[in-house]
């Protein structure tokens, strides 16, 4: 095994997990998978680095669309991703492809003119987004000569849309089940679950819901191995790393940042490492900036929730009212919570509203409530 050169280059590949998902898709054509997991645990990384290559290996064409980036119009985002893939599929790779694309219609031969004519044009894709989705999927699958793997990231975005959009997506995926498999991923357990399981909603019992697994011990071991190679004679305890990883909500990049700062200081104790990391002015500045960007009420709602107070309780409402200088009603707090969930600051875990980022949650517990308002 080659040695890893930096903490940042440590990467865990999960080809067997990817093949497992492809197997599930193959077993039930037309039934998408819905993978969900909290934020920052590696969903997108997996789609990009594991699922796409496995799909290619299986002769499929992976197509990725981030629905959050185009959350005003997710169907357009899907169509756009497919059309880009179609463009790519029509133009062979490399320089030769680019050259072949330049329009050469006439070749002059002395004494004659050889007319190559227009390449036969296909009919333009239909403009109506639902028909367009159907048409572009069919065309792309034919062009590729194999199945498409449509990966819809941040699919919880769809939960905010009228049912007919979801019904369209479902109908097209069903109709084209021999040409396309689909994987939805999302970070809002709630949004995705609502989307997939609401009785009467078009996605009901359509997709197979799976929880996407966190990175395992292999990641922690590689961090420890690299740490030992940088600091001969010092060792990180993998069990302690595991505890820290769980405390951080299994976010690999965050753990890596903490281990990097431990490495910079040459410390091996994870408690001290976390303390130092949290006390770092850059960390605090990041959290302050995040809180400062919120409205006073939103900021106080985050603080109140972080401090474990019932957000809709009478005393809390009075406290919030004093903080913002006006009457704060239950419906105002509810609206604030919805907004904060939507932008990923709050999440619902086990029926309980909580701050999504565990370290931000810890930071907030130390804040005086007045300072938060």
Q: Which of 34, 36, 43, 79 binds ligand ATP (CB under 6 A)?
A: 43
**Bridge partner residues of 182 (DSSP):** 150
Contacts (Cβ under 8 Å, ≥6 apart) of 356? 38, 39, 249, 344, 345, 346, 347
Catalog residues that contact Mg ion under the rule CB under 5 A: 43-44
What is the 8-class DSSP label of residue 121?
P
Does residue 39 interact with ligand ATP by CB under 6 A? yes
Does residue 44 interact with ligand ATP by CB under 6 A? yes
Measured distance between the N- and C-terminal CA atoms of the chain, rounded to whole angstroms? 53
180-186 and 33-36: which strand pairing? parallel
CB of 67 to Mg ion, least distance (A): 11
Question: Judged by CB, which is closer to Mg ion: 134, or 356?
Answer: 356
Token output for 174: 């069903």
**Spatial distance between the Cα atoms of 105 and 233, rounded to a whole number of angstroms:** 70
Q: Are 359 and 365 in contact (CB under 8 A)?
A: no
Does residue 42 interact with ligand ATP by CB under 6 A? yes
Question: Judged by CB, which is closer to Mg ion: 43, or 251?
Answer: 43
Does residue 249 interact with ligand ATP by CB under 6 A? no
Question: Judged by CB, which is closer to ligand ATP: 43, or 260?
Answer: 43
* Binding range to ligand ATP, per CB under 6 A, among 7-15, 198-206, 263-271, 316-324: 7-15
CB of 13 to Mg ion, least distance (A): 17
Binding map of ligand ATP across residues 191-230, x = CB under 6 A, - = no contact: ------------------------x---------------
- Compute CA distances 346 → 130, 339, 340, 359, whole Å: 33, 9, 5, 13
Binding site for ligand ATP (CB under 6 A): 10-12, 39-45, 187, 215, 252-253
């Amino acid at each position: 095994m080659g040695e890893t050169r930096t903490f940042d280059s440590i990467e865990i590949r999960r080809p067997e997990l990817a093949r497992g998902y492809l197997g599930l898709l193959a077993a039930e054509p037309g039934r998408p998978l819905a993978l969900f997991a909290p934020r920052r645990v590696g969903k997108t990384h997996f789609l990009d680095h594991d699922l796409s290559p496995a799909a290619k290996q299986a002769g499929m064409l992976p197509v990725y669309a981030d629905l959050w980036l185009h959350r005003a119009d997710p169907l357009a985002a899907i169509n756009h991703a497919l059309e880009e893939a179609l463009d790519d599929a029509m133009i062979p790779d490399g320089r030769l492809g680019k050259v072949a694309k330049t329009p050469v219609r006439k070749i002059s031969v002395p004494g004659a003119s050889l007319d190559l004519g227009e390449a036969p044009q296909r009919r333009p894709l239909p403009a109506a987004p639902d028909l367009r989705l159907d048409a572009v999927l069919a065309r792309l699958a034919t062009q590729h000569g194999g199945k498409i793997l449509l990966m819809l990231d941040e699919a919880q975005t769809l939960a905010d849309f009228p049912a007919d959009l979801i019904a369209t997506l479902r109908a097209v995926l069903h109709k084209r089940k021999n040409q396309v498999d689909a994987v939805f991923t999302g970070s809002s357990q709630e949004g995705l679950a609502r989307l997939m399981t609401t009785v009467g909603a078009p996605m009901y019992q359509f997709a197979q819901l799976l929880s996407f697994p966190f990175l395992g011990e292999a990641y922690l071991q590689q961090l420890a191995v690299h740490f030992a190679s940088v600091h001969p004679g010092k060792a990180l305890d993998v069990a302690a790393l595991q505890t820290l990883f769980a405390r951080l909500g299994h976010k690999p990049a965050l753990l890596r940042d903490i281990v990097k700062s431990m490495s910079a200081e040459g410390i091996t104790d994870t408690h001290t490492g976390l303390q130092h990391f949290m006390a770092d002015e850059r960390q605090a500045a990041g959290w302050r900036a995040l809180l400062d960007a919120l409205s006073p009420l939103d900021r106080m709602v985050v603080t109140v929730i972080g401090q474990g107070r019932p957000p809709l309780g009478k005393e809390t409402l009075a406290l919030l009212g004093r903080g913002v200088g006006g009457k704060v009603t239950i419906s105002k707090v509810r609206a604030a919570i919805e907004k904060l969930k939507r932008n990923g600051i709050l999440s619902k875990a086990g029926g309980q509203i909580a701050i999504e980022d565990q370290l931000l949650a810890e930071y907030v517990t130390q804040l005086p409530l007045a300072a938060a308002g």
